[in-house]
Amino acid sequence: MNTTRNEIKARIVGAGFTMQETLDRLHRQYGWSDSASNFSNKLQRNSLRYREVVELADVIGYELKWVPRKRGDADDECRH
């Protein structure tokens, strides 16, 4: 199961966009390919770059923030 792909798709739909509408916006604003298959492949392979995730979030009305965990939470998580 590809949880990253599902999370991104859920955010797109939750923001009221289709995948194609999102791609059209990414193409216009950031010069992305407007190919749905290219985007789908990137999601399937988990190969989106950080910059691409930031741009994707932007076109669907989100911003990404780095929020520090409460003290001690970092020690409870598995480090990668």
User: Residue-wise pLDDT tens for the chain (80 aa)?
Assistant: 678 899 999 999 999 999 999 999 999 999 999 899 999 999 999 999 999 999 999 999 999 999 999 887 655 555 55
DSSP class of residue 77? S
52/59 Cα distance (integer angstroms): 11
Every domain of the chain and the residues it spans: 3-59
Report the distance separating Cα 49 and Cα 32, nearest Å. Answer: 12
What's the pTM? 0.81
Q: Rounded to an integer, what distance in angstroms lies between the CA atom of residue 17 and that of residue 66?
A: 25
